[in-house]
Amino acid sequence: MRDTVRQWIREARRIAVLTGAGISAESGVPTFRDAQTGLWAQFNPQELATEAAFRAHPQRVWDWYAFRREMIAKVAPNAGHLALAAFSKRHPGRLTLITQNVDGLHQRAGSHETIAIHGSILQDQWLDAARPCCDAGALQAGRPPRCPVCGNLRRPAVVWFGESLPAAALDAAEEAANACDLMLVIGTSGVVYPAAGLALAAHQRGARVVVINPEPTELDRVADHCLREPAAQCLPALLEH
């Protein structure tokens, strides 16, 4: 089956790749729920990843994200991340990488044009619309930092529950899904929308869809092939030659 997918990759003019938490888990990044350890085990992650939770308990939510940032800093991109970056370097403009992950591992591997549809845990943004006094270079220190003039808080630049995906990133991802003739769906369960809808859109437009995941997913039903392998093992074999 790998040989068939390799042939499809050689034939494809435009490839879209959608990655999820599975590829990061292979590097040692805890999944969203697995990050609930120690002090954080008492909290439901959905109670920490909302605007309402941040406004009610800003220090608690900020500290949880700081904890997750520390875990991400200890890991490195794996062979799957590196294979995708190397392929893009060898074939400029042929592969568009879309990720649900907020950890920045694709970017650290060298995939600098990654479309991060759920944002980045490594960056911050203003909680409320920035006023003229809001200067990210002159913050009042704290957990979280804030504007020393108006008190506007800094927050992680991720998409929380109940928030819309960044319009520009979603538009770019939809364009890639609609234009591709092959989509690789890697390490995602296929239950989170609108991300999962990208694979459905590609399938509906006639693209081949390949799911790479050790476990069954909700997108297997539209897949032309399912490779039940870890990304770090499978992607180098598919992409490096």
**Domains of the chain, first to last:** 2-28+76-118+165-239 (3.40.50.1220), 30-74+120-158 (3.30.1600.10)
Mean pLDDT of 73-77: 96
Catalytic residue check, 241 = no
Angle at 44 between CA 127 and CA 144, to 5 degrees: 30
Residues 172 and 178: their CA atoms lie apart, in Å, by 10
Residues 2 and 237: their CA atoms lie apart, in Å, by 8
Strand partners, 15: 95, 182
Q: Report the pLDDT value the prediction gives residue 42, as an integer from 0 to 100.
A: 63
Mean pLDDT of 49-70: 94
Residues 83 and 133: their CA atoms lie apart, in Å, by 44
Q: Report the pLDDT value the prediction gives residue 47, as an integer from 0 to 100.
A: 78
pLDDT digits (tens, 9 = 90+) for 139-192: 999 999 999 999 999 999 999 999 999 999 999 999 999 999 999 999 999 998
Catalytic residue among 81, 106, 118, 203: 118
Q: Report the pLDDT value the prediction gives residue 30, as an integer from 0 to 100.
A: 77
Whole-angstrom CA distances from 147 to 17, 53, 126, 154 are 38, 20, 9, 8
Report the half-sphere exposure of 125 (CA within 13 A, side-chain side): 12
Query: How are beta strands 154-158 and 119-126 bridged, if at all?
Result: antiparallel
Q: Report the pLDDT value the prediction gives residue 43, as an integer from 0 to 100.
A: 74
**Residue 37: pLDDT band by 50, 70, 90 thresholds?**
low
Mean pLDDT of 55-84: 95
Percent of the chain past pLDDT 90, that is, above it, reads: 88
Q: Report the pLDDT value the prediction gives residue 158, as an integer from 0 to 100.
A: 97
**Residue 48: pLDDT band by 50, 70, 90 thresholds?**
confident
**Is residue 88 pLDDT above 80, yes or no?**
yes
pTM of the model: 0.93
**Is residue 105 pLDDT above 90, yes or no?**
yes
